[in-house]
């Protein structure tokens, strides 16, 4: 397994990451998963996730070898049950306590308990994101080598609290710093084989896009008020002379507000696309650097087709979304640098016994 493997940009077809799957091959897996999930009232979804990942990982090549997913449905189910018992139920009890105190007129204690509830939710959300990434790396094999981390993520959960609060305090202006800082902390505690990840993501490259997202609601509100005011005066004149129904004015306002929300969604998507490009471009593993080239239009096309697929199939099309999203990610992911295969050794991080149960329980993404 010795020798160097070099990715050459001059050869456009020889990209570091390649995906060989097809939706026709994946369809039998997807429909079988759907049927078994329905028959078992959702219980099979842990094994369905495992079957999907085995197919997606197995059809993904990095340089000269395909990835391998070694996680099991039992691990995912165990992690989910533990997450519910250890985290979701206590948070539910805290929420019940807040409501009980409010009904008794104890606003002060209820407010303090509400702060505790909010801080606890931020903690477990951060912990979920960390542990899901750690688990996925530990179950992803390449050349027989896996990743992982010996860090349990407990301190990262506290970082998620104070860094998120700092991002929110000055009118949300430090959100880019908070997101980039948490990204760095998360990845710096991970490794693959003998090599630790390095991440030096900065907030400034994405701050301009964030300002557009930050200021756009104010500008759009001003613009909407101006348009509605102008249209209202005109429509009022029409009402006087033609007795036109006021439904026209209502429909116009609905169209304007729908357009505003759609535009805000596109701007938010532009920020997320810039965030991923900036962070992944600063991620390194040994002598390997990474790039993610998906633009806002690429993301927009992905989600529009997702929506049409789900709506056009009356919801059945959601079974192909995992396939589409993985293919999208791998297609736009790139790596540059040099790997000495002779220097690769197995990771010494301990193997995990449970899957990303917190990820499922609190519905957050690993990346």
Residue 352 pLDDT: 67
User: Any residues with CB less than 8 A from the CB of 311 and at least 6 apart, and which?
Assistant: none
SS3 at position 6: strand
Residue 260 pLDDT: 73
* Per-residue confidence in pLDDT tens, the chain, 367 aa: 344 444 444 444 568 999 999 999 999 999 999 999 999 999 999 999 999 999 999 999 999 899 999 999 999 998 888 888 888 888 888 889 888 888 888 888 888 888 988 899 999 999 989 999 999 999 999 999 999 999 989 999 999 999 999 998 888 899 999 999 999 999 999 999 999 999 999 999 899 889 988 887 777 667 666 655 554 444 444 444 444 456 666 676 677 677 777 888 888 899 999 999 999 999 999 999 999 999 999 999 999 999 999 999 999 999 999 999 999 999 999 999 888 777 777 787 877 666 665 555 444 444 4
Residue 59 pLDDT: 97
The b-or-e profile of 281-308 (16+ CB within 10 A means b, else e) is: bbbbbbebbbebebebeebeebeeebee
SS3 at position 192: strand
d(CA 195, CA 142): 14
**Domain residue limits, the chain:** 74-362
pTM of the model: 0.84
d(CA 335, CA 330): 11
For residues 327 and 91, the answer to whether their CB atoms sit within 8 Å is no
């Amino acid at each position: 397994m010795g020798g160097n493997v070099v990715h050459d940009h001059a050869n456009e077809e020889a990209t570091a990451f390649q995906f060989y799957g097809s939706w026709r091959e994946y369809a039998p897996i997807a429909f079988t998963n759907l049927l078994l999930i329905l028959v078992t009232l959702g219980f099979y979804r842990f094994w369905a996730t495992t079957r999907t990942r085995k197919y997606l990982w197995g059809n993904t090549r990095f340089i000269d070898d395909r990835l391998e997913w070694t996680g099991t449905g039992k691990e995912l189910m165990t992690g989910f049950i533990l997450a519910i018992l250890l985290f979701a139920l206590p948070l539910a009890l805290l929420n019940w306590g807040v409501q009980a105190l409010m009904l008794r007129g104890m606003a002060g204690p209820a407010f303090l308990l509400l702060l505790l509830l909010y801080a606890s939710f931020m903690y477990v959300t951060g912990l979920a994101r960390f542990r899901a990434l750690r688990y996925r790396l530990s179950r992803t094999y390449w050349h027989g080598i896996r990743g992982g981390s010996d860090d349990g993520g407990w301190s990262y959960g506290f970082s998620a609290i104070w860094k998120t609060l700092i991002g929110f305090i000055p009118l949300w202006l430090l959100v880019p710093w908070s997101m980039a800082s948490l990204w760095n902390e998360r990845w710096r505690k991970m490794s693959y084989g003998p090599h630790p990840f390095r991440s030096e993501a900065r907030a400034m490259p994405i701050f301009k896009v964030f300002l557009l997202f930050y200021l756009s609601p104010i500008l759009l509100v001003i613009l909407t008020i101006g348009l509605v005011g102008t249209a209202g005066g005109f429509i009022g004149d029409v009402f006087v002379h033609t007795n036109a129904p006021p439904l026209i004015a209502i429909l116009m306002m609905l169209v304007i507000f729908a357009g505003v929300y759609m535009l805000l969604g596109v701007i938010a998507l532009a920020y997320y696309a810039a965030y991923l490009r900036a962070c992944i471009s600063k991620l390194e593993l040994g002598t390997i650097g990474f790039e993610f080239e998906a633009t806002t239009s690429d993301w927009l096309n992905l989600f529009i087709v997702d929506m049409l697929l789900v709506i056009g199939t009356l919801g059945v099309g959601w079974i192909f979304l995992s396939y589409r999203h993985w293919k999208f990610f791998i297609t736009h992911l790139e790596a540059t640098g040099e790997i000495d295969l002779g220097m690769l050794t197995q990771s010494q991080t301990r193997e995990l016994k449970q899957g990303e149960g917190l990820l499922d329980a609190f519905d957050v993404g690993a990346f």
